[in-house]
Chains A and B, each alone.
Chain A
Amino acid sequence: MRWRRVKAIMVKEYLQIVRDPRSLMIALLIPVLQMFLLGYGISLDVQKIPLCAYDQEGSQASQDLLRRFSASRYFELQGHAGNYAEVGRSLDTGRCNIVVVIPSGFSKSLTDAGRGVVQVLLDATDTNTASLAAGYAQAVVAGYSADVQLEAIQRRGGSVQTLTPVEVRARVWFNEDLVSRNFIIPGVVALVMAIVGAQLSSLTIAREWERGTMELLVSTPVQPLELMLGKLAPYFVIGMLDACICLTLAMFWFDVPFRGTLAALMFTTSLFLTVVLCIGYYVSVSIRSQVGASQVALVLTMLPTTLLSGFSFPIDQMPAAVRAVTYLVSGRYYVTILKALFLKGAPWSELLLPILCLALYAALMVLFAARAFRKTLD
């Protein structure tokens, strides 16, 4: 390998990048756009679930229970239904996701038999929201019945202490406020880096084929590895710039706490960037058109990073076969590392395994990409 040739290619790529300021702006603006879009767009927190009430009784007890629903931050009372047809309509039209039906004998059976029944109807097209809503509804009703019980005991002059024999005192670590954004944003950073990195490099070789400059380049003594290093180096710089933009936004705009070391963050980010740049480069070598290469690169990076990196779906909940596949997704290691660095501030020793995996992955991809390019027109 001759440094002279690598440098010549680096300078050429640099010149071509600065001669095309529009693409450069896109390369630097797209990550910002994606950070905002995904950062605000994806939230797993469920609040203000639209709720309808069908109060068949209209007693003080039923009003009391419904007030508890509307007072909860998880529900927002949208209106009242007068009959079951209206209940059905409000769920059908999506006016509300949950309907609470209080039957006409509710307060009577509560005082007489000591137990009342309320009905909850859920729109489960979004199962995640539905199951969360069911859980919250149960909690609201449980709070209500505890108070009813408490009143009854007090009326009989009983002791209050026996009420809850065992109590769970949950203390949440790492994401104290249980803000889903705090663990989603690091994943978004990984996703944006994967998309942008592969997009940048997916055009470099395809562009030379399309413009007809590759034929001459292949006839020169340039080595495939020299070509790759020279071509990827400027994009590596742009990619790291993008990473800094994303990480700064994550820390200072989205206020995700950062507890790790900057050195670990930059080191692992450069490893991940190497992986995605090489993926894009490999695609660019294989598909000699810019449009085709950029689309394949998008699919190859966005899909696995979205679905299989643990960014949106927890890996330990996946079936064993799918879980095995996630080991092949570089985003998995980077997301793990980012979450640990941001939320846990985990020490190096704990991150050793994912970092090692990511480094190995990067090394293999470099090798793979360098061997992909053949200096022939056959």
Chain B
Amino acid sequence: MAAERQAQIVVDQLVKRFGSFVAVDGVSFEVARGEIMGFIGPNGAGKSTLIRILCGLLRPSEGRALVAGIDVARDPEAVRRRIGYMSQKFSLYNDMSVLENLRFFGGIYGVSRADIAGRLRFAVEMAGLVGRENALVATLAGGWKQRLALGAAILHRPAILFLDEPTSGVDPSSRRRFWDLIHTLAQEGVSVLVSTHYMDEAEYCHRIALINRGRLIALGTPQELKQHTLGGELLALEGDRIGDAMSQLLAAPGVMDVAMFGSALHALVDRAELRSPELQARLGNAGFADVRVRRINPSLEDSFVHLVGASRSGTGASA
């Protein structure tokens, strides 16, 4: 695989324990140059812990992690010079201006004097803060803060970027803009490892790692995950009291899995065109007369719900 030749991040059987709690449990994956890898998973799954290990902020308990070819446990300082990091909590200085923050990180990362003016201008433009360079960061709205934090993280042109839920709490249009920036960086060759809990954002990633309870339970492109993980076809069922039909559905032939999605149920079946009328009739007999059944294309969320459920029952799955 081409990714292996140019792997910027290599994670091999990584384990992190906090006392008896296993936060990261034998995770392995690689990220290629210019690739955007998304970490998806519920809160507390171990996404942040993994990213912190890769940034050299936490020492791995077992296993190995190479970032830019450097072992993070052996030489975290060398790793830190080559990476940019956006932590989950906003961590620029609120009591300093846009430019003062950028200058500070420029100085800390040792951006050369010849470069600094150009890099500052680039970061300010990228964040869309031209004309507000002297505004205190505390006065900026969420989207601008996030873009400024990204700007600060790439001042020194790192080859690898770690973004821990960078868009949480940011409005959708700002999120869209943020992802455009990430894609631009990736096109320039920056490897990006980004965690998120927004499913729609997962579609923007080149590859996705689904993490649950410290384990990597699926890894692949969004397309691969959608097509192969389910192992069946998907029906959406809508109607009054549809939640009560769950047990009826699970007992029906050809139904492999049922999950609640908002006000609808998604049922995983072996063959959609065969089961659709069957289920309609079965539910009609059981008193759910107004139920509408239609075939849908699986979303990433369907895959994840299925995979998380499968990993809980111990069967595991991998695309």
Stretch of A108-116, A219-227, A261-269 that contacts chain B: A219-227
B96 interface neighbour in A9, A15, A216, Cβ under 8 Å:
A15
Pairwise interchain contact A213-B105, C-beta atoms closer than 8 A = no
Pairwise interchain contact A220-B109, C-beta atoms closer than 8 A = yes
| A interface footprint on B176-188 (CB within 8 Å = 1, 0 otherwise) | 0000000000000
- Return chain A residues, CB-CB under 8 Å to B109: 220-221
- Return chain A residues, CB-CB under 8 Å to B59: 376, 378
Pairwise interchain contact B95-A20, C-beta atoms closer than 8 A = yes
Q: A221-B108, A221-B109 are in contact. Are A378 and B96 (CB under 8 A)?
A: no
Question: CA separation between A213 and B92, bound complex, in Å?
Answer: 6
Pairwise interchain contact A4-B89, C-beta atoms closer than 8 A = no
**With an 8 A cutoff between CB atoms, is A323 at the interface?**
no
Question: CA separation between A20 and B93, bound complex, in Å?
Answer: 13
Chain B contacts with A in 60-100, Cβ cutoff 8 A? 76-77, 80-81, 83, 85-87, 89-96, 100
Chain A contacts with B in 171-205, Cβ cutoff 8 A? none
Pairwise interchain contact B96-A7, C-beta atoms closer than 8 A = no
**With an 8 A cutoff between CB atoms, is A48 at the interface?**
no
Pairwise interchain contact A215-B108, C-beta atoms closer than 8 A = no
Q: Give the contact-size bracket for chain B.
A: 20 to 34
Chain A contacts with B in 226-245, Cβ cutoff 8 A? none
Q: A219-B56, A220-B80, A221-B77 are in contact. Are A11 and B107 (CB under 8 A)?
A: yes
| A interface footprint on B44-57 (CB within 8 Å = 1, 0 otherwise) | 00000000100111
**With an 8 A cutoff between CB atoms, is A377 at the interface?**
yes
Among residues of A, the one whose C-beta sits closest to the C-beta of B113 is A4
Among residues of A, the one whose C-beta sits closest to the C-beta of B82 is A221
Among residues of B, the one whose C-beta sits closest to the C-beta of A220 is B108
**With an 8 A cutoff between CB atoms, is B58 at the interface?**
yes
**With an 8 A cutoff between CB atoms, is B206 at the interface?**
no
Q: A216-B85, A219-B80, A219-B83 are in contact. Are A16 and B96 (CB under 8 A)?
A: yes
Question: CA separation between A222 and B80, bound complex, in Å?
Answer: 9
**With an 8 A cutoff between CB atoms, is A80 at the interface?**
no
Pairwise interchain contact B87-A219, C-beta atoms closer than 8 A = yes
- B215 CB to closest chain A CB, in angstroms? 22
- Return chain A residues, CB-CB under 8 Å to B292: none
**With an 8 A cutoff between CB atoms, is B104 at the interface?**
yes
Among residues of A, the one whose C-beta sits closest to the C-beta of B96 is A15
- Return chain A residues, CB-CB under 8 Å to B110: 2, 4-5, 221
Question: CA separation between A20 and B90, bound complex, in Å?
Answer: 21
**With an 8 A cutoff between CB atoms, is B197 at the interface?**
no
- Return chain B residues, CB-CB under 8 Å to A375: 56-57, 76
Among residues of B, the one whose C-beta sits closest to the C-beta of A227 is B108
Question: CA separation between A211 and B91, bound complex, in Å?
Answer: 8
Pairwise interchain contact B107-A377, C-beta atoms closer than 8 A = no
Q: A5-B110, A375-B76 are in contact. Are A219 and B93 (CB under 8 A)?
A: no
**With an 8 A cutoff between CB atoms, is A73 at the interface?**
no
**With an 8 A cutoff between CB atoms, is A12 at the interface?**
yes
Q: Give the contact-size bracket for chain A.
A: 20 to 34
Q: A12-B96, A221-B77 are in contact. Are A216 and B91 (CB under 8 A)?
A: yes
Question: CA separation between A217 and B152, bound complex, in Å?
Answer: 12
- A161 CB to closest chain B CB, in angstroms? 81
**With an 8 A cutoff between CB atoms, is B157 at the interface?**
no
Pairwise interchain contact B105-A7, C-beta atoms closer than 8 A = no
Question: CA separation between A375 and B100, bound complex, in Å?
Answer: 23
Chain A contacts with B in 16-39, Cβ cutoff 8 A? 16, 19-20
**With an 8 A cutoff between CB atoms, is B306 at the interface?**
no
**With an 8 A cutoff between CB atoms, is B121 at the interface?**
no
Pairwise interchain contact A5-B80, C-beta atoms closer than 8 A = no
Question: CA separation between A8 and B83, bound complex, in Å?
Answer: 19
**With an 8 A cutoff between CB atoms, is B295 at the interface?**
no
- B150 CB to closest chain A CB, in angstroms? 12
Pairwise interchain contact A219-B107, C-beta atoms closer than 8 A = no
- Return chain A residues, CB-CB under 8 Å to B85: 216, 219
**With an 8 A cutoff between CB atoms, is A157 at the interface?**
no
Among residues of A, the one whose C-beta sits closest to the C-beta of B52 is A377
Chain B contacts with A in 150-188, Cβ cutoff 8 A? none
- Return chain A residues, CB-CB under 8 Å to B107: 4-5, 7-9, 11
Pairwise interchain contact B95-A216, C-beta atoms closer than 8 A = no
Q: A8-B108, A9-B108, A220-B80 are in contact. Are A213 and B103 (CB under 8 A)?
A: no
- B55 CB to closest chain A CB, in angstroms? 5
Pairwise interchain contact B58-A11, C-beta atoms closer than 8 A = no
Among residues of A, the one whose C-beta sits closest to the C-beta of B106 is A8
- B243 CB to closest chain A CB, in angstroms? 40
Q: Which of B58, B76, B95 has the most CB of A within 10 A?
A: B95
Question: CA separation between A222 and B106, bound complex, in Å?
Answer: 12
B55 interface neighbour in A9, A15, A219, A222, Cβ under 8 Å:
A219
**With an 8 A cutoff between CB atoms, is A212 at the interface?**
yes
Among residues of A, the one whose C-beta sits closest to the C-beta of B162 is A219
A-B contact pairs, 9 of them (CB 8 A): A5-B107, A8-B108, A211-B91, A212-B90, A212-B91, A213-B92, A219-B57, A221-B80, A221-B108
Q: 12 more A-B contacts (CB under 8 A) besides A5-B108, A15-B96, A221-B110?
A: A4-B107, A9-B104, A9-B107, A9-B108, A16-B96, A20-B95, A211-B91, A211-B94, A215-B57, A217-B91, A219-B55, A220-B109
Closest 4 CB pairs of A and B: A8-B107, A216-B91, A219-B85, A212-B89
B interface vs A, CB < 8 Å?
A: 52, 55-59, 76-77, 80-81, 83, 85-87, 89-96, 100, 103-110
